[in-house]
């Protein structure tokens, strides 16, 4: 059942109800739903693992709110900035999607920036984060809009690396393995880890974790786990 159709920044967005759950569709392509959420929660847990508070965290892509709700449950998380370009997605969290984000947009530790993530990263502010958690696409090889591909290339990784604190970690969610992206991470970061999360059907979800940025244009290599 279609709950709402909205003209979004990246095209048509649809919120659809399927039984007790909701689905978000972008230009006819399934993006996410309120079932499960294990890998979206892992995205933030793994990114802040081992960090002593206070932790400043950025989430790129609000989605159905799994990652944001999880972040606010983690000890030491002092502030979360959510960058979401679609006004409709933000609005749905005041209504239909509120149970899954647990009302997190009302938490004083949360700031929502309505912006394209690339524009925000390249902006004139000096914000830096202990964790950058990206879930704006179905993965580096399956972007929602063609322009998002820049985020996962060398220039995008440079922007992301500049927004990390020295102890910071970049975490990227993907609906499938993206070997070429993994290799780019290993060129740009000294430590790269890959975590797989089994799903009911198809390939496992994958979370890429990268830390210890190298200077832009630095040599290849580095530990892998």
Tell me which residues are annotated as active site.
135
Under 8 Å between Cβ of 92 and 57:
no
Cα dihedral 111, 113, 117, 119 sign: negative
Collect contacts of 138-141 with beta carbons under 8 A, ≥24 apart.
138/29, 138/31, 138/174, 138/175, 139/173, 139/174, 139/175, 139/176, 139/178, 139/206, 140/172, 140/174, 140/178, 140/180, 140/181, 141/174, 141/176, 141/178, 141/180, 141/181
């Amino acid at each position: 059942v279609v709950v709402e159709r909205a003209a979004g920044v990246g095209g048509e967005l649809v919120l659809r109800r399927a039984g007790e759950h909701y689905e978000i569709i972008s230009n006819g392509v399934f993006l996410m739903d309120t079932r499960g959420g294990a890998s979206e929660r892992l995205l933030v847990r793994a990114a802040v693992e081992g960090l002593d508070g206070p932790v400043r965290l950025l989430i790129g892509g609000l989605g159905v709110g799994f990652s944001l709700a999880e972040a606010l449950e983690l000890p030491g998380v002092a502030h979360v900035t959510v960058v979401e370009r679609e006004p409709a997605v933000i609005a749905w969290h005041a209504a239909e999607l509120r149970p899954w984000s647990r009302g997190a947009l009302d938490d004083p530790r949360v700031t929502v920036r309505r912006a394209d993530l690339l524009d925000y990263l390249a902006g004139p502010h000096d914000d830096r984060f202990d964790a950058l958690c990206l879930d704006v696409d179905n993965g580096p090889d399956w972007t929602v809009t063609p322009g998002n591909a820049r985020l996962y290339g060398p220039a995008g990784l440079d922007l992301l690396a500049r927004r990390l604190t020295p102890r910071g970690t970049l975490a990227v969610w993907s609906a499938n393995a993206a070997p070429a992206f993994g290799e780019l991470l290993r060129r740009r970061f000294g430590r790269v880890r890959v975590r797989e999360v089994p799903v009911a059907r198809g390939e496992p979800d994958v979370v890429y974790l990268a830390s210890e940025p190298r200077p832009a244009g630095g040599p290849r290599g580095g530990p892998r786990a």
